[in-house]
Amino acid sequence: MARRILAVAILLLAPAMVARAGDRLELTGLLDLRVVAADGTTSYLNGGLGRTRFDSDHDGVQLGRLMLAGRFRLTDTLTLNAVAESYADGDVQPAGFSQAYLDWRPFPTRPVRFRLRAGAFYPPVSLEHRQVGWTSPYTLSTSALNTWIGEEFRVIGTELEARWLGASQGYNGDVALVGGVYGWNDGAGTIMADRGWALTDRPSLLLGGLGHAHEHLYTELDGRPGYYAGVAWRHGEALEVRALHYDNRADPGAHNSRFDFAWETRFTSVGVRYEPTDRVTLMAQHLDGKTYVGPDSAGPDQFALRVHPCTPWRATSAVRTACRCATIISRTGRTAASIRTTRPTTRVTPSRWRGSSASTNTGSSSPKSCAFAASSRRDSTSTSVRASPTGRRSWPCDTGSRSRRARLRIDAIGGGV
Amino acid sequence: MTRTVDPAAGRIAALGAALVLLALAAAPAATSAGEVRVELQSRDGTPVPGVAVVLEGPAGAPARSSGRHSARMDQQDRRFVPQVLVVDTGTSVEFPNSDHVSHQVYSFSPARPFQLPLYKGAPHPPVQFPAPGLVVLGCNIHDEMVGYILVTDSPFHATTDAGGAARLREVPPGAYRVTVWGPLIHDGGGTLTTTLAVAGDGPQTLSLRLKDPLRRSPSPRPGRVDWDGY
């Protein structure tokens, strides 16, 4: 029988308040409380198989997120940024930092401006997370693609961006090349292999685990740095296109004393955000890659995982059926409505090693999901009502709007897998 | 009095602006003696606001100042307001920053390179623009912020208002070169020039209509929030 989840969450008081201490420190706080009524299997966060964040054991008032983000200006061009968060959901670490990095942005003296980041931060993949603390102004949970990015990916290293500033050449837009080198991301793929795709708003913290992955997620097992390289194009304020290739270059045979293996994870991500009018936002992202572990020494327990989570509006091949992930947000005055469709695909296949090809333990899953949402926002309060049918299909997406001030939101989520 | 300017007769010659249709319109009753009113319309006939209009007098004419030695370029909702500002050479421009976030205004335009951090609660001096030319402004924190300051030696300048009209007062008789510049204008690469003979016997109106559509204008969105997330 399909697991069914019906959750009604009323969000109370989710203000993001900005305060300053002098002219050097800028603080942003967010308190997100929800009243949850859920009927579903035990969440992955509590050791179960459920793919939603809250389950039937979480009826009542729950903490959605408590966040404090700070930006401290060391010099005119150098800032220290840090984001501390708490989710109070049984994580081995109740609170901690999700990001902490230095950001150096020298003033441009020519049409190319450089930017250097060093520390721990998110790779520039998501088009949804546009607000302080890597939060989304669009939906409560994010797409499966960016949920995964939030759960298992953090750049602990450096990133260099070179941006051509088009305004000085008469073009309202710019083009950026970005590249990063990092370590401590050999565990990326653990949660994906264990649970598969999910749609939540629960990113990981720098220290500690998440769900079944109790140990530290961000570890270095093989001493090999990873890299990513990408390009971004902004055209006015209407269009932004990003493409990025990520490879943690992990040695899939490396492991620690507890036999936690390194996951070789690589993917290519492409995303488009288009806002044709002031009231409509279209977003679509595609990610295609693979992650695998233990090709040389793990024996018969080894396996490979090929992932094709989101392929919006793409002509796909017949063999590698991909999925669609797109969001449309429409605003009319103070009312916003959004539609999102996601079809992540996970195919688990046995790996080939030493010239032989195994043929067992092959599985795949292709959950479909879609959600309709409508919200009404005022300056001081924000209310959204979301309703989705239940059944064999999954409807775990949700949405909402955020305001810098207090808000009230009612969410109804229905789903089944 | 309304002067009728016939393009075919050469009273107005489009120089480097062949894509612009020049037309004449009856001068509104509000115009006064010595005033030149320049009206700019898009291809579909709607007014084009926020466009710089400069009248440059004949060569050898005595230098004059408009009398305005200070100006203001604000920052509101992560935008430069106004987006286009025209000032006399030597004018000091204030950047007050009405936003609740910090900005770091810069320019590397040859006419006036500068760097100006705008932090709340921290004083910052005005910026003087000693040389004529176009100065493109940016913000080192918010890349989507773009502003323009057109510095000119001519005292006869204005920007078009919401009705697409720019009024230039106390213009002495003579032959002038009219320069129209706006970041959204596609015709002529954004800069249009023509000539105008000011007779000095009454107000004049020069109506211009663009041939190409305007570039897309970035506009504020409802509920605009902190996009510079980290």
Q: Do A20 and B120 touch (CB under 8 A)?
A: yes
Question: Which residues from chain B sit within 8 angstroms of residue A81, using beta carbons?
Answer: 230
The DSSP secondary-structure symbol of A135 reads B
Question: Which residue in B139, B225, B227, B230 has the most chain A C-beta atoms within 10 A of its own C-beta, making it the best mutation to test that interface?
Answer: B230
Q: Is residue B165 part of a domain?
A: yes
Residue A414 to chain B, least CA–CA distance (Å): 28
Residue A321 to chain B, least CA–CA distance (Å): 34
Minimal Cα distance from B140: which residue of A? A107
Edge-to-edge strand list for the sheet holding B36-41: B20-23, B204-210, B36-41, B165-168
pLDDT computed for residue A303 by the predictor: 41
Q: Do B146 and A167 touch (CB under 8 A)?
A: yes
pLDDT computed for residue A346 by the predictor: 54
Break chain A down into helix, strand, coil percent, rounded to 5.
5, 50, 45
Say how many C-beta atoms besides its own lie within 10 A of residue A308's C-beta.
22
Residues 88-117, chain B, touching A (beta carbon < 8 A)? 100-102, 104, 106, 108-109, 113, 115, 117
CA distance A327 to A282: 6
Pairing state between β B36-41 and B204-210: parallel
pLDDT computed for residue A373 by the predictor: 34
For residues B192-206, average pLDDT: 86
Question: A247, exposed or middle or buried, with CB in 10 Å at 0-12, 13-18, 19+?
Answer: middle
Residue with tokens 């073009």: A171
Residue A162 φ/ψ, nearest 5 degrees: -115, 120
Residue in A411, A417, A393 with CA at minimum distance from that of residue A37:
A411
Reduced to 3 states (helix: H, G, I; strand: E, B; else coil), residue A299 is helix
CA distance A135 to B226: 10
Mark whether B190 and B165 lie in a shared domain.
yes
Residue A11 φ/ψ, nearest 5 degrees: -90, 125
**Closest to A99 (Cβ–Cβ): which among B219, B227, B230?**
B230
Residue with tokens 């050898």: B60
Higher pLDDT, B111 or A35: B111
Q: What is the mean pLDDT of chain B?
A: 80
CA distance B223 to B212: 32
Minimal Cα distance from A238: which residue of B? B218
Say how many C-beta atoms besides its own lie within 10 A of residue B125's C-beta.
9
pLDDT computed for residue A297 by the predictor: 38
Mark whether B127 and B177 lie in a shared domain.
no
The string over A125-134, giving b where at least 16 C-beta atoms fall within 10 Å of a residue's C-beta and e elsewhere, is bbbbbbbbbb
Residues 87-116, chain A, touching B (beta carbon < 8 A)? 99, 103, 105, 107-111, 113
Minimal Cα distance from B191: which residue of A? A170
**Across-strand partners of B81?**
B74
Question: Which residues from chain B sit within 8 angstroms of residue A167, using beta carbons?
Answer: 136, 138, 146
Mark whether B79 and B141 lie in a shared domain.
yes
pLDDT computed for residue B186 by the predictor: 83
CA distance A205 to B177: 63
Mark whether B74 and B147 lie in a shared domain.
yes
B224 at A interface, C-beta within 8 A: no
Question: Which residues from chain B sit within 8 angstroms of residue A109, using beta carbons?
Answer: 108, 113
The token pair at A85 is 């968060």
**Closest to B122 (Cβ–Cβ): which among A23, A69, A135?**
A23
Output the CA–CA distances (angstroms, integers) from residue A415 to A8, A322, A383, A396, B86, in the order listed.
12, 21, 22, 5, 58
Minimal Cα distance from A107: which residue of B? B140
The token pair at B215 is 């570039």
Minimal Cα distance from A171: which residue of B? B183
Q: Residue A138 in contact with residue A338, Cβ under 8 Å?
A: yes
Q: How many residues does chain B have?
A: 230
pLDDT in tens, chain A (417 residues): 334 444 444 454 444 555 555 578 888 888 888 888 877 788 888 888 888 888 888 888 888 899 999 999 999 999 999 999 998 876 567 789 999 999 999 999 999 999 999 999 999 999 988 888 998 877 778 888 899 999 999 999 999 999 999 988 888 889 999 999 999 999 888 888 777 788 888 999 998 888 777 677 898 999 999 999 999 999 877 889 999 999 999 888 788 887 777 888 889 999 999 888 777 888 888 888 888 776 443 333 344 444 444 433 222 221 222 334 666 766 655 555 666 666 655 554 433 322 222 222 223 333 333 333 333 333 222 333 333 322 223 223 333 323 233 333 333 333 322
CA distance B102 to A71: 11
A45 at B interface, C-beta within 8 A: no
Q: Residue A331 in contact with residue A382, Cβ under 8 Å?
A: no
Say how many C-beta atoms besides its own lie within 10 A of residue A319's C-beta.
5
Alpha helix positions (H), A126-183: 144-152
pLDDT computed for residue A8 by the predictor: 46
Measured torsion, CA atoms of residues A124, A190, A199, A235, in degrees rounded to the nearest 10: 10
A277 at B interface, C-beta within 8 A: no
Mark whether B57 and B163 lie in a shared domain.
yes
pLDDT computed for residue A313 by the predictor: 28
Q: Residue A95 in contact with residue A81, Cβ under 8 Å?
A: no
In this predicted model, what pLDDT tens digit does every residue of B44-80 receive, in sequence order? 999 999 999 999 987 666 666 666 789 999 999 888 9
Residue in B79, B143, B73 with CA at minimum distance from that of residue B112:
B73
Q: Is residue B226 part of a domain?
A: no
Q: Is residue B47 part of a domain?
A: yes
A364 at B interface, C-beta within 8 A: no
Mark whether B79 and B190 lie in a shared domain.
no
Pairing state between β A325-332 and B204-210: unpaired
Measured torsion, CA atoms of residues A19, B224, B125, B85, in degrees rounded to the nearest 10: -170
B215 at A interface, C-beta within 8 A: yes
Residue with tokens 């079944």: A212
In this predicted model, what pLDDT tens digit does every residue of B126-162 receive, in sequence order? 999 999 999 999 999 888 889 999 999 999 999 999 9
A163 at B interface, C-beta within 8 A: yes
- Per-residue confidence band for B30, with pLDDT thresholds at 50, 70 and 90: very low
pLDDT computed for residue A200 by the predictor: 85
Q: Give the domain CATH number at B56.
A: 2.60.40.10
Assembly ipTM: 0.77
Q: Give the domain CATH number at B128.
A: 2.60.40.420
Question: Which residues from chain A sit within 8 angstroms of residue B105, using beta carbons?
Answer: none
Residues 127-146, chain A, touching B (beta carbon < 8 A)? 129-135, 137
Mark whether B170 and B58 lie in a shared domain.
yes
pLDDT computed for residue B176 by the predictor: 92
Reduced to 3 states (helix: H, G, I; strand: E, B; else coil), residue A169 is helix
Q: Residue B166 in contact with residue B38, Cβ under 8 Å?
A: yes
Q: Is residue B78 part of a domain?
A: yes
What range does the domain containing B19 cover? 11-62+156-210
- Per-residue confidence band for B83, with pLDDT thresholds at 50, 70 and 90: very high
Residue B12 to chain A, least CA–CA distance (Å): 27
CA distance B129 to B149: 9
pLDDT computed for residue B107 by the predictor: 96
Reduced to 3 states (helix: H, G, I; strand: E, B; else coil), residue A237 is coil
Tally of domains in chain B: 2
Residue in A243, A239, A246, A233 with CA at minimum distance from that of residue A271:
A243
Mark whether B92 and B200 lie in a shared domain.
no
Residue with tokens 């390009």: A231
- Break chain A into its structural domains and give their ranges: 4-128+141-267+373-416
Q: Do A168 and B215 touch (CB under 8 A)?
A: no
**Closest to A402 (Cβ–Cβ): which among B102, B220, B225?**
B225
